[in-house]
Amino acid sequence: MENRVKHARVQSGFTQQQLADQIGVTRQTISLIEKGSYNPTLRLCLEICYAVNQSLDELFWIDKEE
């Protein structure tokens, strides 16, 4: 699923590995989330939001397709 995690991570000055270490997952998981190949649980979404200081809405919200 499309998201803005990569943009937020770069803005916060994290590498994928640093973000992964902070929230307790592997770098590959962060990479897959950024590519939209893996849909994280709500808990992991929140962990990412806390780490990059952004809201769930800013990172993961997408408008419903018509």
Residues that bind another protein (CB under 8 A): 24-26, 28-29, 32, 38, 40-41, 43-44
Other C-beta atoms lying within 10 Å of the C-beta of residue 37: 9
9 Rama sector, left if φ>0, alpha if ψ -120 to 50, beta otherwise: alpha
Nearer to another protein, 40 or 54 (CB): 40
User: What are the helix and strand counts (H, E) for the chain?
Assistant: 5, 0
Q: How far is the CB of 58 from another protein (least distance, A)?
A: 22
- Residue 19 beta carbon to another protein: minimum distance, rounded to whole angstroms: 13
| Closer residue to another protein, CB minimum distance, 7 or 27 | 27
